[in-house]
Amino acid sequence: MIIIIKKKFNIREYQVQLKFFKQMYHDKKISIKDFNRILNIKNKYHRLQSILARNLLISYFDSKKISDYKLTSSLKNVPLVIGGDNPIFISISHSKNLITVAIANRRIGIDTEYILKPFPSILRSKWNSKNYIYPYRTWTSIESYLKYLGIGLTKDLTTINIAFKNTNQNIVIDKGTKKVFSSVTLKEKDYLITVTQKNYFSMDDIKTITYA
């Protein structure tokens, strides 16, 4: 099962969320590396996005009585969960005022995009007709795959093909490695959310939770 946690936020939440974030650090649920890195983010809005994502994860883990874990990140700042009784994989995305977090028992990537804005034409100039018509579905599939890999936008995007199976199901084809991945796209009002994993999964394997 894949858990997707969603929350729309307002900058007025900053002080409340910051207080909780600091308390979770003192409770040893957040690594000193992530604590310092996030508090050093210059843009207050972006800082709140990162704080909120960690707070959502901790709130969910605590609600499920998961203990002995710590939130940290890799050398490339890919979010990680260490400790706990069972492996937990996470991925984080935010766009405008929506935060999304994916939680699974195997590696996963998630991307979220606000879709009521013009899509950059240069990004889709080499796409086929279907990808061109559905740019945000294509882009979130690409981005979620890159987050699955943990490499960001360092990969040659022309080596990634996206095929649509049905309304929600996508196939990610990496021409470089000749590997195929599964992804699913969800609509959230003015946003698209796409999650990617190696093995096939469908909407039936996803549970969404909305935090107020």
Q: What is the pLDDT of residue 190?
A: 95
Residue type (1 letter), 157: L
Answer yes or no: are the C-beta atoms of 169 and 181 closer than 8 Å: no
**Overall average pLDDT of the 132-141 stretch:** 92
Beta bridge partners of 188: 191
Helix 14-26, helix 32-39: angle, nearest 10? 160
Domain end (from 61, 82, 111): 111
Determine the structural domain holding residue 187 and report its residue range: 115-192
pLDDT tens-digit profile of 1-12? 999 999 999 999
* Residue from 167, 170, 115 nearest 141 by CA: 170
pLDDT score at 96: 93
Q: What is the pTM of this model?
A: 0.93
For the chain, the residue count is: 212
Neighbours of 155 (CB within 10 A): 15
- Tokens 């987050």 identify what position? 147
Which tens digits make up the pLDDT trace of 93-117? 999 999 999 999 999 999 999 999 9
Residue 83, number of CB atoms within 10 A of its CB: 14
State whether 83 and 130 are in the same domain. Answer: no
Residues 141 and 163 in one domain: yes
- Residue 10's pLDDT is 94
> Do 66 and 26 fall into the same domain?
yes
Any domain includes 146: yes
Q: Structurally, how many domains does the chain consist of?
A: 2
Residue 59 and residue 156 share a domain: no
For residues 10 and 107, state if they share a domain. yes
